[in-house]
């Protein structure tokens, strides 16, 4: 274990992050949750042949870790992956397995990611992220039955909020088949643990998003019959009901539980939906006196102020909010937006740069790069993007897309295409990358190449944005009938898509 401590110290010394505070999904490890009673049974049920292997002597460990961390800082993912793979052969440690898991996901090596993730999960039993990442990879590998023990274990280590991890898993399901596989396993879990409503609540939440919302209401009603004041179930029921009916339901709950601030918070949020802003604001102000509700109340007050374009007032709320645990990144992001709006570009970039890896981190890096490109230079913006910390595989894709767009805007399309080729070597069928490469070719009048790549993108994901671009290239190439057909199909699917609307407006003149 001493070698792992030295390695983590080296990682910190060269500025690398192991776990970001308030990240989404959260990497924080529960400090007081109970470990499953039958630990060995869980390990046996979830065991896989571990990566070559997570065992052996520690010679050379520090060197491999140092080289790997430097490679990560330089976005040299293959080098980093190879070094951590070597490290895993000398250290039997979950921290190494965690790093290897992230690098394997980033590099698209699903088998290695699965081996490393299941080792991590089995040796860090209280770490919810290790469990849900393992479950996610198994479901995506069409091994959903093997994911069930990890889902069960989440109920053990997150007795009050397991649905958070289940929703993180859901966010990684990309196809209808994967979504149905997850729902099927959650249904199994709900049947195996009938006294625990978290699996059923997650099914209801996902049914609202992925299926027919009316099918979710009976599930929520079932939960509330036995747990009438389950906060998340109440919030979901309100979403499923018509606005006024939901408000009346909350009024009845408030009458029955006048001192329940959880219900009061949901009630105030519902008031904003019905445009009763003054009354909502009064409730939010009152809730700032409750330590457990102060942060979400300040967040709501800040959002109301932003919507009313009261920027100074929004800044006051956001400056209060940034001291609340778990809300610092969000507060700094919106303070950056306020500074932008007020023309304080340097201050905006400073706010964005203070944001640690979290759900706002990537957006902040992209906003800062956009400002640097406009007010400094494209090279400064590219450097900013290249020095970003990558938390998940999708992050690197968005950074590549942003950098490619900066190059295209700067008439450096050849460099943009080279960058996109590098990204496509890792994820060859990604529709956003394919479409951006096609659009880059269109910018330099290579229309046939543009059509090839845009058609590939459209075959992978026939959405309105890609259809708009593909139609434009077809029209420019003289195939107006084909362009009109694609635009008509896209309009039927998503008539309000801004890219499609802008394209149709230009070509209607």
pLDDT band at residue 166, thresholds of 50, 70 and 90?
very high
Place of tokens 């996901």: 105
> ∠173-174-180 over CA atoms, to 5°?
60
CATH 3.40.50.620 fits 1-154, yes or no: no
Least confident of 19-33, 136-150, 182-196: 19-33
Q: Please, what is the angle between helix 261-273 and helix 243-256, to 10°?
A: 160
What is the reported pLDDT for 469? 96
Among 152, 233, 146, CA closest to 197:
233
Determine the straight-line distance between the first and last CA of the chain, rounded to whole angstroms. 69
d(CA 53, CA 279): 60
When pLDDT is averaged across residues 469-494 and rounded to a whole number, the result is 95
Burial class of residue 354 (count of CB atoms within 10 Å of its CB; 0-12, 13-18, 19+): middle
What is the reported pLDDT for 509? 72
Q: How far is CA 195 from the centre of its chain?
A: 30
Among 499, 493, 433, CA closest to 471:
499
Per-residue pLDDT of 30-39, as tens digits, reads: 222 223 334 4
pLDDT band at residue 286, thresholds of 50, 70 and 90?
very high
DSSP-derived secondary structure for 47-106: --PPSS-S-S--TTHHHHHHHHHHHHHTT-HHHHHHHHHHHHTT---HHHHHHHHHHHHH
DSSP-derived secondary structure for 151-184: HHHHHHH-TTTHHHHHHHHHHT--SHHHHHHHHH
CB 264 within 8 A of CB 295: no
CB 46 within 8 A of CB 122: yes
Please report, for the chain, the start and end positions of each structural domain, with discontinuous segments joined by +. 1-154
When pLDDT is averaged across residues 123-130 and rounded to a whole number, the result is 94
Among 434, 371, 370, CA closest to 402:
370
Query: pLDDT over 70 for what percent of the chain?
Result: 86
Q: Does 21 score more than 50 pLDDT?
A: no
Q: What does R_g of the chain's alpha carbons equal in angstroms?
A: 25
d(CA 464, CA 471): 10
Per-residue pLDDT of 231-244, as tens digits, reads: 999 999 999 999 99
Query: pLDDT over 90 for what percent of the chain?
Result: 68
Q: Does 28 score more than 60 pLDDT?
A: no
Least confident of 66-70, 129-133, 274-278, 300-304: 66-70
When pLDDT is averaged across residues 98-125 and rounded to a whole number, the result is 89
24: left (phi over 0), alpha (psi -120 to 50) or beta: beta
Least confident of 14-23, 36-45, 246-255, 278-287: 14-23
Q: Please, what is the angle between helix 431-443 and helix 393-409, to 10°?
A: 10
Q: How far is CA 147 from CA 46, 185, 262, in A?
A: 8, 8, 33
Higher pLDDT: 29 or 506? It is 506
What is the reported pLDDT for 22? 33
CB 440 within 8 A of CB 411: no
What is the reported pLDDT for 392? 67
Place of tokens 């939906």: 273
What is the reported pLDDT for 389? 80
When pLDDT is averaged across residues 336-355 and rounded to a whole number, the result is 97
Place of tokens 């007795």: 159
CB 131 within 8 A of CB 122: no
Q: Please, what is the angle between helix 176-192 and helix 128-140, to 10°?
A: 130
Least confident of 1-15, 276-290, 395-409, 486-500: 1-15
* Model pTM score: 0.75
pLDDT band at residue 41, thresholds of 50, 70 and 90?
very low
The answer to whether the peptide bond before residue 25 is cis (omega within 30 degrees of 0) is yes
> ∠460-464-466 over CA atoms, to 5°?
50
Q: Does 328 score more than 60 pLDDT?
A: yes
When pLDDT is averaged across residues 341-366 and rounded to a whole number, the result is 95
When pLDDT is averaged across residues 45-67 and rounded to a whole number, the result is 54
- Dihedral (CA of 467, 469, 475, 477) sign: negative
Per-residue pLDDT of 74-99, as tens digits, reads: 667 677 777 877 777 777 889 888 98
CB 438 within 8 A of CB 453: yes
What is the reported pLDDT for 18? 36
pLDDT band at residue 206, thresholds of 50, 70 and 90?
very high
> ∠486-492-494 over CA atoms, to 5°?
95
d(CA 223, CA 196): 10
């Amino acid at each position: 274990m001493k070698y792992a401590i030295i390695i983590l110290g080296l990682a910190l010394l060269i500025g690398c992050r192991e776990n970001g505070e308030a990240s989404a999904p959260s990497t924080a490890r529960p400090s007081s949750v109970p470990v499953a009673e039958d630990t060995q049974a869980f390990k046996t049920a979830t065991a896989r042949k571990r990566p070559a292997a997570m065992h052996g002597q520690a010679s050379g460990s520090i060197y491999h870790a140092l080289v790997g961390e430097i490679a990560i800082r330089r976005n040299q993912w293959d080098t980093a992956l190879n070094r951590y793979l070597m490290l895993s052969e000398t250290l039997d440690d979950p921290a190494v397995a965690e790093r290897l898991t992230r690098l394997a996901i980033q590099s698209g090596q699903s088998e290695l990611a699965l081996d490393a993730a299941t080792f991590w999960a089995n040796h860090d039993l209280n770490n919810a992220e290790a469990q849900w990442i393992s479950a996610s990879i198994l479901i995506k590998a069409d091994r959903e039955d093997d994911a069930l023990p990890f889902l069960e274990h989440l109920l053990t280590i997150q007795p009050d909020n397991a649905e958070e991890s289940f929703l993180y898993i859901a966010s990684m399901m990309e196809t209808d088949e994967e979504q149905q596989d997850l729902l099927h396993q959650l249904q199994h879990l709900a049947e195996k643990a009938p006294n625990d409503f978290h699996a059923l609540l997650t099914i209801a939440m996902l049914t609202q998003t992925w299926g027919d919302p009316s099918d979710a209401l009976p599930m929520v009603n079932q939960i509330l019959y036995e747990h009438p004041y389950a906060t998340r179930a109440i919030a979901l029921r309100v979403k499923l009901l018509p606005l006024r009916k939901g408000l009346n339901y909350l009024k009845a709950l408030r009458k029955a539980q006048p001192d329940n601030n959880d219900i009061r918070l949901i009630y105030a949020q519902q008031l904003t939906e019905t445009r009763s802003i003054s009354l909502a604001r009064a409730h939010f102000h009152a809730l700032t006196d409750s330590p457990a509700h102060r942060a979400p109340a300040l967040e709501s007050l800040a959002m109301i102020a932003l919507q009313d374009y009261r920027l100074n007032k929004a800044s006051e709320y956001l400056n209060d909010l940034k001291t609340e645990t778990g809300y610092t990144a969000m507060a700094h992001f919106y303070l950056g937006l306020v500074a932008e709006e007020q023309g304080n570009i340097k201050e905006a970039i400073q706010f964005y740069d203070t944001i640690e890896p979290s759900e706002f981190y990537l957006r902040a890096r992209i906003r800062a790069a956009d400002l640097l490109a406009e007010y400094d230079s494209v090279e400064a913006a590219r450097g900013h993007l290249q020095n970003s910390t990558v938390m998940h595989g999708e992050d690197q894709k968005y950074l590549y897309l942003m950098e490619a767009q900066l190059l295209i805007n700067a008439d450096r399309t050849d460099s943009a295409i080279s960058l996109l080729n590098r990204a496509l070597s890792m994820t060859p069928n990604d529709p956003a990358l394919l479409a951006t490469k096609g659009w880059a070719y269109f910018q330099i009048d290579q229309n046939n190449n543009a059509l090839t790549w845009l058609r590939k993108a459209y075959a992978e994901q026939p959405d309105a944005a890609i259809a708009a671009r593909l139609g434009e290239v077809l029209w420019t190439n003289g195939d107006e009938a084909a362009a009109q057909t694609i635009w008509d199909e896209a309009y039927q699917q998503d008539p309000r898509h801004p890219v499609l609307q802008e394209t149709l407006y230009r070509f209607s003149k």
